[in-house]
Amino acid sequence: MFLTMGLHRLRMHLANIRRLGVKELWSLWRDPVMLFLILYTFTVAVYTSGTAMPETLSQTPIAIVDEDDSALSARITGAFYPPAFLPPVRITHAEVDALLDAGHYTLVLVIPPGLQRDVLAGRQPTLQLNVDATRMSQAFAGSGLVQQIVAGEVAEFAQRHRAVQAPPVELVPRMRFNPTLSNVWFGSLMELVGQITMVSIILTGAALIREREHGTVEHLLVMPVTPTEIMLAKVGAMGLVVLLAAVLSMRGIILGALRVPVDGSLWLFFGGAALHLFATTSMGIFMATLARNMPQFGLLVMLVMMPLEMLSGGMTPRESMPTWVQWAMSLAPTTHFTELSQAILYRGAGLAVVWPSLLALALIGSVLFALSLRRFRRAIAQMA
């Protein structure tokens, strides 16, 4: 008898959660702003992050002052070509400062007279590289690449004209998991991971604040539903929407339009995403109970999302951060979700490798859900 009563209560709870979840989905469907946010973040934002990474060196304007007019200087000039550089333009030494001041070139390489003669004589001539450092991304990446290109061309030229002793050790780089060092692979996948976090927090928190502003929370209080059912409905409905959008983005944008190869199991990745959504949607409800209106909630989201994105390991390796930051961020769900995502999508890791991250997400999600439920009950009690 007690078992029958328990099953009946369970069915009632599940029925209430399902009905409340359908209500949440209908509310979202009637909100064009949130629908546009979902559409933009999982399509345009993911695509542009993969194709327009700021650190990518592309179409960099470069000029060369060739005062040597030798075969070696011509060889160096011909080593700069698209897509990393625009075709180099030859200018005079007197034009360098004026053209840099006008912003026409990011890099100006000055080849001194007698360069080839000094190289063949075994001397070490000096070349000058002028860099417009106001173009930060091109200046940083471009100066290093120019030095690498010039050194390689000079070494190969000298080796053809006189015997050069081979180095005792040859270092052969082997690029694992991203052999072409393509920013498209990294940018698009990490953007998807970040958007899953951000959109889930915004949707869940906005759903609660929208009900409070429209006065529909009071309607729920007079219905035979519990705060746990209300919260589970919001967490489940918004998490399902974000998970479905992430699946479509992975299939249509990352695998389809960008053709990024994924070595690991997508089922395992989205299983980890579901656990992560359990934590982030709970976090969204907790933040919504702290904010009084949508503008306050928006500011709170900005304050929370910035450290979560910057310190979770998606932008900068955690090993380069201070020890106390690494310890503090180990309590954040984004850290474990980023580790899990990189292991599965980049390195093809299986369950035997990522189970600690899955366990951490489940524990953190449970704690966040309990804290959010306690705060949610207190907020409802104040409304009653």
In CATH, what number is assigned to the domain containing residue 66? 3.40.1710.10
Per-residue pLDDT tens listing for the chain (384 residues)? 556 666 767 788 788 888 888 888 998 898 898 999 999 999 999 998 877 655 567 788 999 999 999 989 999 999 998 878 889 999 998 899 899 888 889 899 999 999 989 888 888 888 999 998 887 777 778 888 888 889 888 888 877 654 455 667 777 777 777 776 677 788 888 899 999 999 999 999 988 888 877 777 666 666 777 888 888 988 999 999 999 999 999 999 999 988 888 888 999 999 999 999 999 999 999 999 888 888 899 899 999 988 888 888 877 788 888 889 889 899 999 999 999 999 999 888 899 999 999 999 999 999 999 999 998 888 776 665
Q: Are 108 and 23 within one domain?
A: no
Give domain status of residue 282, yes or no: yes
Q: Are 117 and 251 within one domain?
A: no
Q: Are 343 and 264 in contact (CB under 8 A)?
A: yes
CA atoms within 13 A on the CB side of 53: 17
Give domain status of residue 169, yes or no: no
Q: Which tokens go with 381? A: 């009690």
CA dist 338 and 251 (Å) reads 19
Q: Are 193 and 187 in contact (CB under 8 A)?
A: no
Q: What's the DSSP call for residue 381? A: H
Q: How many domains does the chain have?
A: 2
Q: Which tokens go with 248? A: 């479509």
Handedness of CA 231, 233, 238, 244 (dihedral sign): positive
Q: Are 224 and 274 within one domain?
A: yes
Nearest to 344 by CA among 250, 205, 280: 250
Q: Which of 161, 196, 220 is the C-terminal boundary of a domain?
A: 161
Q: Are 150 and 257 within one domain?
A: no
**DSSP assignment of 108-176:** EEEEPTTHHHHHHTT-----EEEE-TTSHHHHHHHHHHHHHHHHHHHHHHHHHHS--PPPSS-------
Beta strand 107-111 with 128-131: parallel, antiparallel or unpaired?
antiparallel
Q: Are 133 and 224 within one domain?
A: no
Give domain status of residue 168, yes or no: no
Give domain status of residue 174, yes or no: no
**DSSP assignment of 11-52:** HHHHHHHHHHHHHHHHHHHT-HHHHHHHHHHTTHHHHHHHH-
Q: What is the pLDDT of residue 180?
A: 66
Q: Are 18 and 98 within one domain?
A: no
Q: Are 244 and 206 within one domain?
A: yes
Q: What is the pLDDT of residue 60?
A: 86
350 alpha-carbon distance from chain centroid: 22
Nearest to 197 by CA among 122, 272, 103: 272
Domain residue limits at 93:
62-161
CA dist 92 and 110 (Å) reads 9
Q: Are 43 and 66 within one domain?
A: no
Q: Are 103 and 125 within one domain?
A: yes
pTM, two decimal places: 0.77
Q: Are 197 and 235 within one domain?
A: yes
Give domain status of residue 378, yes or no: yes
Give domain status of residue 152, yes or no: yes
CA atoms within 13 A on the CB side of 98: 5
Q: Which of 101, 134, 161 is the C-terminal boundary of a domain?
A: 161
Q: Are 140 and 30 within one domain?
A: no
Q: Which of 132, 161, 190 is the C-terminal boundary of a domain?
A: 161
Give domain status of residue 2, yes or no: no
Give domain status of residue 4, yes or no: no
Q: Are 122 and 66 within one domain?
A: yes
Q: What is the pLDDT of residue 384?
A: 55
Q: What is the pLDDT of residue 5?
A: 61
